[in-house]
Amino acid sequence: MGSTAVSPKKYRLWLLLILLTAVFLRLYAIADAPPGLTHDEADHGITAWEIVNGARAIYFTVGYGREPLYDYATAVLMRFVGPTWLAVRVTAVFFSLILIAGMAAWTRRAFDEPTALLTAAGLAVGFWPVMAGRQALRSIALPALFVLALLFWQRGVDRLEIGDWRLAIKQSVANLQSPISHFLFAGLFLGATFYTYIPARVMWGVFPAVLLFAAWRQRSFWGRAWRGTAVMLIVAFIIAGPLFYYLASHPDVEVRIDELSVPLTAVTDGNFNPLLKNSLSSLRLFTMEGDSTWRYNIPGRPFLQPVMGVLFYFGLFFSFMRMRGGEARIARAVFLALAWLLAGLSPVLVTGPDLSMTQAVGMQPVLYLFPALALVTIGRISALFFAKGRENDRITLPRWYAALLVLLFGATAVTTFRDYFITWANAPEVRVQYETTMVTAMNYLNEYGREATPALNAVEAAVSTITPHRYHSPAIAQLTLRNASVNLHWFDARYSLLLPAGSNSVVIIPGFTPLAPALERYWETAVLTQTIPMRPSDRDKPLDIYQIDGNTMRQAWLRQFQPESATFNEAAAFIGYDLQTPTVQAGGLAQLATLWEVKRPLDGAVLFTHVLANGRPIAQTDRLDVPGESWQPGSWFIQLHQIPIPATVEPGEYPIAIGVYTCPGGVPCPDGVRLTTSTGSDSLILTTLRVTQ
């Protein structure tokens, strides 16, 4: 049918317009959409800042564990702009733009200029690419680097098409125009993908798959390309080797792998149902029903909207037709695209459609290739049907058809703008997941005390949150709090209270962690000075700001608690207790409040409370809602222990014992290491609980 004509000048102008559109959709209101910051994004930021300050790791164990390349890229930017969360998001924009430009360059080589422009346009204005390009997540780096690997591989293959491998070997490796140099660069980028995101461990298989296709259908290409492809793969696995060695040496660091491999484990046991169910439901992602997670999508919105979805299926149909009977070069490119689509989708076929917006990101560039192929094919048919003539066997698309294409992608851009900036970014659930309330609290503290407090005097501030541990709300604060005079403390007011050292402090309690009714009696001296209402539609509202007179509150607590004295490993001093339910029915809930003074930080600290019978626990609760890693000497805190009493407990009086142990992450565990008092005891008997029928 011939190729489609676009002059080099027009191609460059259109590509520039597409890239400028992509830049606008990725940088517009970047400080407000997404509307806050997730702890995953914040973790990338604090890790990048640690890299700036000398940290060097081949794999980071934050959260579920993650590959490091995105953090190192962010660190480069942070070295110039400092530890700001904008640096984390701009890094995502950078990779997203590389993805578009690289995909256009490869598609132009593998197919033609119109297909390249339309693929780039889809990536520039599509909802999924815009979403991924504005989120500070490492997943966006995978398709960007994979596209670069593919581009250099294609350049090497193209040079071999017009040359000879033996001649290429004789050329200097330093000659960047030699085929071997292109394959080396392809291996460099392919190896780098392993340091981006887990699906890279599947996607490299696209290249051997193309060679197998060539061995079946295009023996001449196989003879030319297998050596260069082998060089690329060898270089890639040499680069990836240190990461694989580390992971093999530390099999426990990849928690996510164990979770994601559950359907595959079931297959090894002869149960194919979970895998089959996930695979079939994942096929709906393209045009029927998408990721249900507000964090990454408008729930249920498929990858492609109706018009693009129909074009996608037409593109698949035309691709199969061209792979079977088209020009050898095009057939090979189409097979590669199909293999790429399958490889990128494969993680979701295993795990199911939830979180597919991130897990399937490897196929994002090629997803938009198929609508482009359909549009170009339809355009060629239209040009021939309307007798639009040829120029040197190159077909010129009708102007009216080009205008329709501009209208189609313009409408897609408008729809994406509406769906992302108006619908998604303002959805109450999105504002919850992006912790807008916590970001608002940090913005309040950024202005707090600037006029009245000298810069060298710390403002003691305690913030309540449901996620007070290091890599959650504190990580968000590290990237959003710019007031150097604020000294932050963390707790969860649903189960605890925290009083910083010093005579005066400010305590912030958001609506999503309301003060527990059982703790209200200890909060009577706190003065509510301000309430920040948030939006009427917000779920996490409002923000209550309290001023605390430390001396007054400490004296009040000492009057309310039964005094007791013990220090556990010089880390936490036990001050007293308040048994709020001296008598409880079997099957009921006993409530005990304990009062502590912090001596030093204690990473992984957990408090335990046991109701004993003959020295053995018959009921217990293990928790700590003032994380030990953020303890600061001189702070006091109250922990609320709610102990379910089994219905089978006989009536009587039972001793209550408390103590402290450490466990990774500060979560309850059966094999924690107990702390001891100065007398060598690892627990302290407080009082007795009377159980009735």
Comparison of pLDDT for 2 and 244, the residue scoring more? 244
pLDDT for residue 371? 97
pLDDT for residue 413? 97
At 173, is the pLDDT very low, low, confident or very high (cuts 50, 70, 90)?
very low
At 258, is the pLDDT very low, low, confident or very high (cuts 50, 70, 90)?
low
Q: Which residue, 523, 555, 587, sits at the end of a domain?
A: 555
At 328, is the pLDDT very low, low, confident or very high (cuts 50, 70, 90)?
confident
- In DSSP notation, 490-518 reads EE-TTTEEEE-SSSEEEEEEETTSPPPGG
Q: Examine the domain organization and report whether 294 and 422 are in the same domain.
A: yes
Q: Note the pLDDT tens digit of each residue in 338-361.
A: 999 999 999 999 988 888 899 999
Q: For residue 165, is pLDDT > 50?
A: no
pLDDT for residue 451? 53
Q: Which residue, 411, 429, 447, sits at the end of a domain?
A: 429
Residue 603, φ and ψ in degrees, nearest 5 = -65, 135
- What is the C-alpha separation between 430 and 34, in angstroms, rounded? 8
Q: Which of 271-280, 361-370, 468-477 has the highest mean pLDDT?
A: 361-370
Q: What is the DSSP letter of 348?
A: H
Q: Examine the domain organization and report whether 582 and 684 are in the same domain.
A: yes
> Where in the sequence is the domain holding 546, given as residue range(s)?
435-555
Q: Examine the domain organization and report whether 91 and 180 are in the same domain.
A: yes
Q: Note the pLDDT tens digit of each residue in 454-500.
A: 444 678 999 999 999 988 999 999 999 999 899 999 999 999 999 99
Q: For residue 100, is pLDDT > 60?
A: yes
Domain count along the chain? 3
Give the mean pLDDT of the chain: 90
Q: For residue 205, is pLDDT > 50?
A: yes
Q: Examine the domain organization and report whether 421 and 548 are in the same domain.
A: no
Question: What CATH number is associated with residue 635?
Answer: 2.70.50.60
Q: Note the pLDDT tens digit of each residue in 624-680.
A: 999 999 999 999 999 999 999 999 999 999 999 999 999 987 888 888 999 999 889
Q: Examine the domain organization and report whether 581 and 451 are in the same domain.
A: no
Q: For residue 507, is pLDDT > 60?
A: yes
pLDDT for residue 453? 45
Strand ranges inside 465-588, DSSP E: 486-491, 496-499, 504-510, 527-532, 543-549, 562-568, 572-579, 583-585
Percent pLDDT > 90 in the chain is 75
Q: For residue 124, is pLDDT > 50?
A: yes
Averaged over 401-427, what is the pLDDT? 95
Q: Examine the domain organization and report whether 440 and 574 are in the same domain.
A: no
- What is the C-alpha separation between 42 and 36, in angstroms, rounded? 10
Q: Which residue, 530, 555, 580, sits at the end of a domain?
A: 555
Q: Examine the domain organization and report whether 245 and 134 are in the same domain.
A: yes
Averaged over 605-628, what is the pLDDT? 95
At 194, is the pLDDT very low, low, confident or very high (cuts 50, 70, 90)?
very high
- What is the C-alpha separation between 34 and 135, in angstroms, rounded? 7
Q: Which helix (H) or strand (E) holds 592?
A: strand 589-598
Q: Examine the domain organization and report whether 173 and 275 are in the same domain.
A: yes
Q: Examine the domain organization and report whether 637 and 543 are in the same domain.
A: no
Peptide bond into 542 cis (omega under 30): yes
At 172, is the pLDDT very low, low, confident or very high (cuts 50, 70, 90)?
very low
Averaged over 678-688, what is the pLDDT? 93
Q: For residue 513, is pLDDT > 90?
A: yes
pLDDT for residue 470? 87
Averaged over 158-174, what is the pLDDT? 55
Q: Examine the domain organization and report whether 309 and 380 are in the same domain.
A: yes
Q: For residue 322, is pLDDT > 50?
A: yes
Comparison of pLDDT for 161 and 330, the residue scoring more? 330
Averaged over 382-395, what is the pLDDT? 58
> H-type helices in 61-178, by residue range?
69-81, 85-110, 113-125, 127-134, 141-161, 165-170
Q: Note the pLDDT tens digit of each residue in 33-64.
A: 999 999 899 999 999 999 999 999 999 988 77
Q: Examine the domain organization and report whether 515 and 577 are in the same domain.
A: no
Q: Examine the domain organization and report whether 73 and 170 are in the same domain.
A: yes
Averaged over 557-583, what is the pLDDT? 96
